[in-house]
C-alpha cells in the first residue's frame, strides 16, 4: 500500500520555468503520466556538470519535501566557445542574453552547438537515477521570432528544415529536443517500474 502511494502516475516536477513544464507535460502525457509542477526554484548546486546539478538538486529536494521528485538541468554548449555557456547557461542567458551570444559569435563560421538535458529522479531515501538527452544543431545568425524560451530563438536543431526551436511548436520541438529525449528515457524507465511494482 505504501509503495502504491510512492510510485504514482503523477510525476512531481520541480521547476520555476513554465516553458519547461509545457514541454515535459506533453512528453509524459504520451506515457499516461501526469505532470504536477511544483513551482519551486531548483536548489542551487555549484558544479560544472549538468548531470551533477540535476542529481544533487533532486536528492536534496526529495529529502526536504518527503516526496519522489524530478528535476532537470539543461545547457547550451557552443563548440567554437569551448562548450560555453554550458552549465552556466542560466546566468549567461540572464546577463548576456541571445544578443550577447550572437555578439560573441560575430565573424565565427563554425556554428556547431548542442543542447543537453539531464533529468534526475529521486526518492526521499533512495538512489537517484539520471537520464541525459542531447540535440545537435547550430547557432543562427540572427534572433528568430516565435516562442520566446531562453536560447530557442538562436538554436537551429538538425533535421528541422533550418527552423529555430522558437519556430517549432511544443510537439515538434519535443520530437527532437534534448529535453524530449531525456524525459522519454525517464518515462520509459518509470513506467516499466510501475508495471513491475503493480503487476
Q: Which three cell numbers stand for residue 1?
A: 500500500
CB of 159 to ligand IMP, least distance (A): 16
Stretch that binds ligand IMP, among 73-81, 119-127, 139-147, 189-197 (CB under 6 A): 73-81
8 A C-beta contact, residue 165 and residue 177: yes
Q: Which three cell numbers stand for residue 98?
A: 541571445
Distance of CA 180 to the CA centre of its chain: 8
Closest among 55, 52, 96 to 78, alpha carbons compared: 96
Question: Mapping DSSP to helix (H, G, I), strand (E, B) and coil, where does residue 47 land?
Answer: coil
Across 126-140, b (16+ Cβ under 10 Å) vs e yields: eebbbbebebebbbb
Q: What is the residue whose three cell numbers read 506533453?
A: 26
Stretch that binds ligand IMP, among 4-12, 25-33, 103-111, 145-153 (CB under 6 A): 145-153
150 touches ligand IMP (CB under 6 A) = yes
**Residue nearest to ligand IMP according to CB distances in the complex:** 150
CB of 125 to ligand IMP, least distance (A): 26
90 touches ligand IMP (CB under 6 A) = yes
112 is catalytic: no
Identify the residue among 11, 17, 51, 167 touching ligand IMP (CB under 6 A). 17
| Measured distance CA(130)–CA(134) in Å, rounded | 13
Strand partners, 78: 84, 113
Stretch that binds ligand IMP, among 29-37, 56-64, 143-151, 182-190 (CB under 6 A): 143-151
CB of 68 to ligand IMP, least distance (A): 20
CB of 190 to ligand IMP, least distance (A): 20
What are the two backbone dihedrals, phi and then psi, of residue 69, each rounded to the nearest 5 degrees? -135, 160
Which C-beta is closer to ligand IMP: that of 33 or that of 133? 133
- Strands 34-38 and 10-14 come out as parallel
Within residues 18-57, the interface with ligand IMP by CB under 6 A covers none
| Catalytic (active-site) positions | 73
Binding-site ranges for ligand IMP (CB under 6 A): 17, 72-76, 89-90, 93, 115, 149-152, 165, 179
Amino acid at each position: 500500500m505504501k509503495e502504491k502511494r510512492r510510485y504514482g502516475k503523477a510525476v512531481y516536477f520541480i521547476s520555476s520555468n513554465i516553458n519547461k513544464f509545457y514541454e515535459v507535460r506533453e512528453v509524459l502525457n504520451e506515457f499516461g503520466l501526469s505532470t504536477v509542477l511544483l513551482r519551486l526554484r531548483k536548489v542551487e548546486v555549484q558544479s560544472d556538470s549538468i548531470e551533477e546539478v540535476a542529481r544533487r538538486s533532486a536528492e536534496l529536494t526529495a529529502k526536504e519535501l518527503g516526496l519522489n521528485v524530478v528535476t532537470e538541468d539543461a545547457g547550451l554548449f557552443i563548440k567554437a566557445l569551448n562548450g560555453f555557456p554550458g552549465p552556466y547557461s542560466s546566468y549567461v542567458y540572464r546577463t548576456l542574453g541571445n544578443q550577447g551570444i550572437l555578439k560573441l559569435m560575430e565573424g565565427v563560421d563554425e556554428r556547431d552547438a548542442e543542447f543537453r538535458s539531464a533529468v534526475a529522479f529521486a526518492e526521499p531515501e533512495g538512489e537517484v537515477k539520471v537520464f541525459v538527452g542531447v540535440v545537435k544543431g547550430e547557432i543562427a545568425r540572427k534572433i528568430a521570432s516565435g516562442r520566446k524560451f531562453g536560447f530557442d530563438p538562436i538554436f537551429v536543431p538538425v533535421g528541422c528544415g533550418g527552423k529555430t526551436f522558437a519556430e517549432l511548436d511544443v510537439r515538434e520541438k519535443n520530437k527532437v529536443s534534448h529535453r524530449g529525449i531525456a524525459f522519454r528515457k525517464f518515462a520509459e524507465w518509470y513506467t516499466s517500474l510501475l508495471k513491475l511494482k503493480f503487476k
